[in-house]
Structure 1
Amino acid sequence: MANGRRRAKGTGSIIHRKDGSWEFRREIGHDPATGRRRYVTAKGRTKAAARERFEAKIAEMERTGVAPGGRSPYLRDYAERWLGEYRPAVKPTTYKTSACRIRACMAVIGGVRMADLTADHVRRCMRVLSERLSPSTLRGHFTSLKMLLDQAELEELIPVNPCRRVRPPRVEPTETRILSPDEPKRLIEAVPGSGAGPRGPRSTPDMDESWMLLFELAFAAGMREGERYALMPYELERRDGVPGINVRQQIQPYGRPGEVEIPKWLKAEHLYGVLWLTTPKTRAAQRFVPVSESLWGRLWARIRRLNIGPRELVFTNSRGNPVRNTTERYHWRRALEAAGLPMVTVHSARHWTASMTARANMPDDARTAIMGHTSIAMTNHYTHRDAASLAKLLGQAIPELHDATDVVDADVIDEAA
């Protein structure tokens, strides 16, 4: 310093640069995750301007818990900072879900300071939210809150995550209802004419064909909704003479351009409205799925008849825009009604595919490859054994325990006689 005296430890340093500008700089400790020193700096054309910016930065960092301060930050302030850091690390749909959950929790306990947070606050939050949320949705909120507080513990803002001292909301597993082995064929055959109604344009042969092919792909290839909507001719390949679909993309409703932040690492191309063409759900979801020669031929017949380019959508609505899941669900329900089948969800078709591969005794690695799952545990979650296949397997496993010729005749005595 000009007067030869050193500034008090922890107050930082003031630098007067050659260009006349001023810079305030202070170390704020080490990053708990990396161990590296952290600094906060602020520059200004005048010393007063630099100081004002510096003090504003320090106040904001203390408010959100980035820098230690006189008081512990409020949980809601830390949550907003955490969400800002979490956003570029995940897909937009993941962020949107997590942000809604976290903000719902903050509406209940966001006014608690981090240092005062206890397991009782978490229990109260879950109790209040349980009045309007289903058990499975409440479990999701608990999981997101725990993830946030795990990071707070890592940053040493709290000694221990209080969620670890709370039992997660109980969720009873529900069984997904699927069609029997021969019912998908009835569903697909019932499509022509079933879409005619007061909602939207009347059915046409091209539209009926579109829904029939989409439904068949759901059952025969186990493709997710977004994967089917994003199908383009270049994904249709023959490998070793086997026709199939090289699943390489999907359509997701991320949001309108300018209203949604697409992370730099995510490959996404805007298509229409809120819809984006992006990569599959996981690396395992990028897979080759064989299809029958019949389905292969009908897909190519449609492509050639409509003159669809290699990187154009095979399936679009009457206006040429991508298919929406709400429209598909409408036609799906109409076809189920026309075929007299139980009202199952579109997503149950993937459960049907997983179940049929198990019924055929397909090896586990092949089943996970077809489904695009990362583990056999997830594929088994999608698998539902019907009584007929269980009886057949049990009959093969258990030998006959009673001699069929050794039959005991029993007289039925009528006590009233």
Structure 2
Amino acid sequence: MASIQKRPDGRWRARYRDDAGKEHARHFARKVDGQRWLDEVTASVVTGQYVDPKAGKITLQAYAEHWREIQAHRPSTRDQVRRQFTLHVYPTLGTKPLSTIRPSDLKGLVANLSKTLAPATVTVIYRHLSAVFKAAVADRRIATSPCVGVSIPKPPKPRVVPVETAKVHELVAAFPERFRAMVTLAAGTGMRYSEVAGLTVDRVDFLRRKVSVDRQLVTLPGVVELGPPKTASSVRVVPLPKVVVDALAAHLAAFPAEPGGYVFTTPSGRPVRRSDFGEVWRPAVRAVGLEGFVFHGLRHYYASLLIRHGASVKTVQDRLGHKSAVETLDTYSHLWPDSDDQTREAVDLELGEVPADSLRTGDGAP
């Protein structure tokens, strides 16, 4: 029910009741403005887009924390969102009511973050923030998301340049014996660091020379535990080359583990956190002249070996646990052999020679 009445002071009072019976009113200098407002409200009710004006008074931080707690995120992702929002979003926009946040506010946030953070990090923060506003629209907290029309910096896609095999040998030799096999395993299987650190003895099949990758080490504040891999496609079985089998066997002979225990541990017997490994990784890469080289580079090295020895896109995708062949090609397409010579040869074989019948029936034939 809606109505508009003139007040004693000459202003017009427009009012309506929502579905819950709650009255909402605004005052206007002109009747036509009040009627336009009522018409807009009526249209939003009819189209199912009505939002209680007071629903958006909840602050961004309060709503985002509620959103974060009910998401089906992996523990590591949940912790990442918490840290990123706390450090980079809440100080600027956390106390603002949802309904007052405009696209210009988000553009300013992106611009400020881009001054100190990498484009990939800004993209991740903005993607999660956009999901918060999308949920707010679905919950009828706000009518539209302020994220519409906000552009974010596109992360550059650096071209993968695999490390040379000689340098991998040097890197392995530069490591302390306790962690040396971690490097060999990564270079010989393409496993991610969290998958290597989370490897347990029961996942290694020495007889069939295979390793099952179905878990990873998850590190959270005060918690180190095994969790699911990065994605569903990351679950895979990777063949173990002899050099890797020998390295793992030698490692377990020197540092025995229980059948279901971690293959790699610190001297105190606990799992190898990334921070623990960094203390031996950084001196080793400096010693062999690979300053700035990261553990993920061993994954690229493994992919380059497969490609160099004729592996198909599908094989490389399966070994690395990529979600699709598109992801594999986007990363490594430049490493596959150039097909220019093959296409030239294919055409020349078919069109390069003129059949004899064509010569006898060509121009000038009687």
Normalization by structure 2: what TM-score?
A: 0.71
Q: 1:340 to 1:128 in 2, by over 3 A?
A: closer
State how far apart, in whole Å, the 1-side matches of 2:97 and 2:254 are.
Answer: 65
State how far apart, in whole Å, the 2-side matches of 1:77 and 1:302 are.
Answer: 50
Q: 1:337 to 1:119 in 2, by over 3 A?
A: closer
Q: Does 1:376 align with 2:325?
A: yes
Q: Does 1:337 align with 2:322?
A: no
Q: 1:395 to 1:181 in 2, by over 3 A?
A: farther
1:344-355 counterparts in 2 under 5 A? 344-355=293-304
Report deviation, 1:311: 0.5
Give a deviation string over 1:300-347, Cα, whole Å, max 9, x none.
344345442211112111111211223323333333333344541111
Task: In structure 2, give the amino acid aligned to 1:232.
Answer: T
State how far apart, in whole Å, the 1-side matches of 2:73 and 2:182 are.
Answer: 29
Q: 1:166 to 1:242 in 2, by over 3 A?
A: same
1:253 to 216, 219, 222: 219
State how far apart, in whole Å, the 1-side matches of 2:227 and 2:210 are.
Answer: 20
Q: Does 1:123 align with 2:107?
A: yes
Maintained 8 Å contact 1:221/1:370: yes
Report deviation, 1:167: 1.5
State how far apart, in whole Å, the 1-side matches of 2:156 and 2:247 are.
Answer: 42
Q: Going by fraction, where is helix more abundant, 1 or 2?
A: 2
Q: Does 1:146 align with 2:112?
A: no
CA RMSD of aligned residues (A): 2.9
Task: In structure 1, give the amino acid aligned to 2:308.
Answer: R
State how far apart, in whole Å, the 2-side matches of 1:350 and 1:358 are.
Answer: 13
Maintained 8 Å contact 1:230/1:249: yes
Q: Does 1:172 align with 2:121?
A: no
SS in 1 for 2:179: helix
Normalization by structure 1: what TM-score?
A: 0.63
1:132 to 111, 116, 130: 116
Q: 1:397 to 1:343 in 2, by over 3 A?
A: farther
Maintained 8 Å contact 2:188/2:302: yes
State how far apart, in whole Å, the 1-side matches of 2:127 and 2:174 are.
Answer: 42
1:76 to 41, 45, 61: 61
Report deviation, 1:294: 3.6
Identical-pair percentage: 23
2:183 to 204, 215, 220: 215
SS in 2 for 1:130: helix
1:1-400 counterparts in 2 under 5 A? 10=20, 68=52, 70=54, 72-73=56-57, 74-86=59-71, 89-103=72-86, 104-191=88-175, 208-237=176-205, 242-256=208-222, 274-304=223-253, 306-341=255-290, 343-383=292-332, 385=334, 390=337, 394-398=340-344
Q: 1:335 to 1:106 in 2, by over 3 A?
A: closer
State how far apart, in whole Å, the 2-side matches of 1:398 and 1:328 are.
Answer: 50
State how far apart, in whole Å, the 1-side matches of 2:310 and 2:125 are.
Answer: 38
State how far apart, in whole Å, the 1-side matches of 2:284 and 2:54 are.
Answer: 65
Q: 1:248 to 1:127 in 2, by over 3 A?
A: closer
Maintained 8 Å contact 1:316/1:323: yes
Report deviation, 1:69: 6.7
Report deviation, 1:223: 0.9
Count of matched residue positions in the alignment of Structure 1 and Structure 2: 298
Report deviation, 1:381: 4.2
Give a deviation string over 1:126-176, Cα, whole Å, max 9, x none.
233334333332222221211111111222322222212112234333345
Report deviation, 1:82: 1.7
Structure 1 runs not aligned, ≥5 long = 1-8, 13-66, 192-207, 257-273, 400-417
State how far apart, in whole Å, the 2-side matches of 1:185 and 1:153 are.
Answer: 55
Task: In structure 2, give the amino acid aligned to 1:324.
Answer: R
Maintained 8 Å contact 2:178/2:255: no
